[in-house]
Chains A and B, each alone.
Chain A
Amino acid sequence: MRIEAEHINYTYNPGTEFAVQALKDISLTIEEGEFFGVVGHTGSGKSTFIQHLNGLILQPSAQKKYRPKKPKKGAPVPPPSVLKVGGFDLLNKKTDFRALRSKVGMVFQYPEVQLFAETVFDDVAFGLKNFAKEPLKPEAIEEAVRSALETVGLDYAEVKDKSPFDLSGGQKRRVAIAGVIVTRPEVLVLDEPAAGLDPLGKKELMALLHRLHADWCKTVVFVSHDMDEVAENCSRVAVFADGQIKYVLTPRALFSKFDELDALGLELPAAAKIARLLHEEGIDIESDFTPDDFAEKAAAYLSARLGQTEKTEKGEGGEA
């Protein structure tokens, strides 16, 4: 499903002294098939935005009590807003938000704190039963739960009857993700899915997301603070700052904006940090800023340089 937002604003506690405008005229299109990254500081509006994607935060016009106001005479007419996920119009209160939520899976930060059921099976099955329009057959539930648990790399027979609280941290997170993907959402939105995991756990989790993406979950949107993770995984990245979108670029294009990112107080991936320092010394090594690609390009650059100096040295030696 394609995600399309145009001129979206959002204010928390409107009309009170705690009013905070979290989104200011956001326009962003995420195409179906993207592995899309969202970065930005705490408070930049990125969480507010992604919570719009499955209707956890509703625009005023999508709320039940909404009555359109007559525009004041002479007041400037704001540009028309658009907020669509696939065929769902998120600005319309008649939209079936329940159906939307079964299509757009949301994995929150530290999803394992939301585990609640007595067994892993019940926890994973909860969302499935909840979204079903009519009661599902037990075999259908079992099949879906088995498939979800196997997808996240857990042994169905081994874990299904265990309490989710008896599992390790990494396993708990997998169960929580299984509970979201069990409805086979077409869009998966994740808020820092790898935070707090050890390096191997992070790697495995990203591999899992890529597997889902290649398999049946066509669009993945994930928030991350880890720029190396963004450089290695995303097709494009949106940078949020002060409730606005500053850039939407490929990681390669984004991370070569050294000074601009500095001004936003965002960190660079390690490879970009090195590239920047070298750039200041007049050495330009182009890469996509993943460690592997950077190492490759740097090695090629150095080999060429060393080869050259060797040649000139030999050449000079010959003349003498």
Chain B
Amino acid sequence: MQAVDFENVCFSYGREGEGFSLNNINFSVEEGEFVAVLGQNGSGKSTLARLCNALLTPRSGKIAVLGMDASDPGNTFEIRKNVGVVFQNPDNQTVASIVEDDVAFGPENIGLPREEIGRRIDFALKAVGMEAYRRATPARLSGGQKQRVAVAGVLAIRPKVIILDESTAMLDPRGRKEVMDVVLRLNKEEKMTVLLITHFMEEALLADRAFVMHKGEIVMRGTPREIFSRADELETYSLTLPAAGYICKKLQAKGLPIADCLRPEELAKEIERCASRQNI
């Protein structure tokens, strides 16, 4: 089944006729897929995320989440139970003063029995590697740890889809890696559907598919590699290649026989191969 399906979706924050924040969006994400969304600030990425779990409803068009119509208020509760969003700032999404209470907030909200809530907390904290911090105070955790608790809070309601709306933007490299490792594992092992909104091109490389948004429209689609192979087009949307990809393009521009690379490991191998001149 499709986890998320947008059909001709338009959305606007302003009054009617003031122009759209999202214009005629069509895309779908299969269950178990890992999809990255790229685009400039203000291109409509976060609006898209909010539409996916009925925080916003479209002006026109149809959104189906796990087969449910997102415009029908009767489905809102069920949709939010299945689509969890982790936002950018960990401090804005902490509700309790103890980690386990914070994680319990979601399950309590959907009215689960007490024993089940305990099991959910165990499961969720284990999934993000934060069991040892069960009784800790979120305010005393690092950014990466807080964000992992936020992910645990989402996991505790056992959603089928998790949306990360620039969830790693405020973290240091270690924190970013912690969160991305958890997300990758959830996707690979638990087959959780992941929609990753990010400015870090290196993170987008982890996805099965990616698309680029610009001024409220989807302007590029494909695997991350396909998208990054169209560097000039990417640049018109104010996006850049991952740094290794950029260096690679520069070497190619100098006429060196280097194949397309996006990761440092690949490029190091290519330079080595080129230096020892084993031809392709």
Contact = CB atoms under 8 A, between A and B. Distances in A.
Interface string B264-280: 11011101101101000
B213 to A, nearest CB: 11
B236 to A, nearest CB: 11
A228 interface: yes
B188 interface: no
Contacts of A169: 41-42
Size bracket of the B interface: 35 or more
Interface string B235-259: 0001110111011001100101000
A274 B250 CA distance: 14
A168 interface: yes
Given A168-B42, A197-B41, A267-B173, A277 B264 contact: yes
A303 interface: yes
B199 interface: yes
Nearest to B246: A291
Contacts of B41: 168-170, 197-198, 201
A196 B170 contact: yes
A292 interface: yes
Given A169-B41, A298-B251, A41 B174 contact: yes
A117 interface: no
B76 interface: no
A79 interface: no
Contacts of B84: none
B142 A302 contact: no
A270 interface: yes
- DSSP majority for the A interface? helix
B238 to A, nearest CB: 4
A165 B5 CA distance: 32
A74 interface: no
A45 interface: no
Nearest to A225: B172
A291 B275 contact: no
B107 interface: no
A196 B169 contact: yes
Interface in A160-213: 168-170, 195-201
Nearest to A224: B172
Contact of A271 (B88, B243, B277): B243
Q: Which of B170, B240, B264, B265 has the most CB of A within 10 A?
A: B264
Nearest to B245: A270
Interface of B: 39-42, 88-89, 142-144, 166, 169-175, 199, 201, 238-240, 242-244, 246-247, 250-251, 254, 256, 264-265, 267-269, 271-272, 274-275, 277
Given A168-B42, A265-B174, A270-B244, 13 more contacts: A42-B142, A42-B144, A170-B41, A196-B199, A199-B239, A200-B240, A225-B172, A273-B268, A274-B247, A291-B243, A299-B250, A302-B274, A309-B277
Interface of A: 41-43, 109-110, 168-170, 195-201, 225, 227-228, 265-267, 269-271, 273-274, 277-278, 281, 283, 291-292, 294-296, 298-299, 301-303, 305-306, 309
